Amino acid sequence: MRDIETRARTHRWRRRLGGLTAAGVAAALLVACSGPGSGTTPSNGSSGASYSLVGGDKVAAIAASGSMPAIGTEGDSIVGFEAPLFTTAMQRLGLDYDVTWADFAGGLAAIQAGRNDMMIGSIAWSASRAQTGLFTDPIYYVPTVFAEKKGAGIKTIEGLSGHRIGTVTGYYFIQTLQGMPGVDLQVYPDIATTLADLDAGRIDVALLDATVMVYTAKTRPDLDIEAVVADPPTAEQLAAHPEWESLGPIMAEWYLPKGEEALRDALNGVIREMYQDGTIEDALKQYGFEDPSEWLTLDDFWHDKLQQQRRDADRPSDWTLPALGAAK
């Protein structure tokens, strides 16, 4: 996940949800965002207005541009693995929506100022952001991913020592990498330049947005790279190197303004349904995530750690993280 500003986009897509089924939405890769429809009745018997929406009778969503494979556009469609998740949520809640686009910082500002109802595009949870907005439950968990030449075999944090590592200006783990013995860190202005140097052998590993690395490895076979899900730091490793927490899994979520607790709670219910009915797994598989369980489960240590972070910040003491299968 990255907090790097990207070029603002001004397109607005509108969608009415009449005639869509949940199964159809979950299976769709290209989700139409224009055209007429009749709308549907919310399953709780309420109308969109009961959620006190900024957009009146529609959800005014804002998406972070440059967020593929999470969310993007193709013609008059929104695409990416979040597209069917978002449209499924809207359909199950019986809500129509508009989607506008902004750079990441602009999207956060719009939510915190109450100008939009929700931000989509895999926003990383943080305690500071939770103070100025509302987070849904996680839609998936982001592991650390190493982009490397096929067969390089680098899978652990310790394995980075002795190698040339590339990343992009603005990533939150740069300071951690700078302090790691044996790591020769190269910081680039953008992802394309980083990948070009990886392909040319001038660096050994690229640490970038995890989802982008998986998507790139899938769609750019000419680069001869693979995206390797790294082993997360253990409790023992964090005791010795607390700064390595920045290389552990994080929670990707949707972000809402304060005052929209009812919509947040309704979205949480749908998110948990999608963990159980395969919707999230199917969406991830379509975009190159061969083992979605790596993105939808946590080991015991990180499960308890992230769960407690939420309980300490913006969830009650008995709240639990969503997960595949039976709730933990």
- For residue 17, what pLDDT band results from cuts at 50, 70 and 90? very low
The half-sphere exposure of 291 on its side-chain side, counting CA atoms within 13 A, is 7
Q: What is the mean pLDDT of residues 186-208?
A: 94
Question: Does 1 score more than 60 pLDDT?
Answer: no
User: Which range, of 15-19, 122-126, 163-167, 274-278, averages the lowest pLDDT?
Assistant: 15-19
Average of per-residue pLDDT across 272-295: 94
Asked if residue 117 has pLDDT above 60, the reply is yes
18 and 132 inside one domain = yes
Considering the domain architecture, whether residues 254 and 229 belong to the same structural domain is answered as no
Domain boundary among 224, 247, 270: 247
Q: Does one domain contain both 149 and 131?
A: no
Indicate whether 190 belongs to any domain.
yes
From the list 250, 172, 180, the residue with the least C-alpha distance to 211 is 250
Shared-domain flag, residues 124 and 24: yes
Could you tell me if 151 and 122 lie in one domain? no
Q: Is residue 4 a part of any domain in this protein?
A: no
Instruction: Examine residue 319 and state whether it is found in any structural domain, yes or no.
Output: no
Q: Which domain holds residue 23?
A: 12-141+250-313
Check pLDDT > 50 for residue 206. Answer: yes
pLDDT higher than threshold 50 for residue 94: yes
- Asked which of 201, 223, 247 is the last residue of a domain, the reply is 247
Inside any domain, residue 328: no
Q: How far apart are the first and last CA of the chain?
A: 26
Q: Model's pTM, two decimal places?
A: 0.82
> Which of 221, 247, 273 is the last residue in one of the domains?
247
Task: Evaluate whether residue 182 is within a structural domain.
Answer: yes
Burial class (CB in 10 A: 0-12, 13-18, 19+), 254: buried
Give the pLDDT confidence score for residue 22 in this predicted structure.
Answer: 32
Question: Are 228 and 174 found together in one domain?
Answer: yes
Domain count, the chain: 2
CATH code of the domain covering residue 163: 3.40.190.10
User: Which residue has better confidence, 14 or 100?
Assistant: 100
Average pLDDT over residues 296-325: 95
d(CA 73, CA 105): 19
Segment 285-302 mean pLDDT: 93
**pLDDT on residue 75:** 86
Q: What is the mean pLDDT of residues 45-72?
A: 80
Same domain, 22 and 106: yes
The reply to whether 286 falls in a domain is: yes
Residue 225 and residue 261 share a domain: no
Residue 84 pLDDT > 90, yes or no? yes
Question: What average pLDDT does the segment 204-208 reach?
Answer: 96
> 170 and 131 in one domain?
no
Residues of the chain with pLDDT > 90: what percent? 71
**Which pLDDT score, from 0 to 100, does residue 13 have?**
43
Q: Is residue 229 part of a domain?
A: yes
Q: Answer yes or no: do 134 and 16 share one domain.
A: yes
Q: What is the mean pLDDT of the chain?
A: 85
Q: What is the pLDDT of residue 325?
A: 67
- pLDDT at res. 64: 85
* 288 and 211 co-located in one domain: no
Residue 33 within a domain: yes
Tell me which of 167-171, 204-208, 249-253 is least confident.
167-171
Q: Please give the pLDDT value at position 67.
A: 76
Is the domain of 43 the same as that of 66? yes
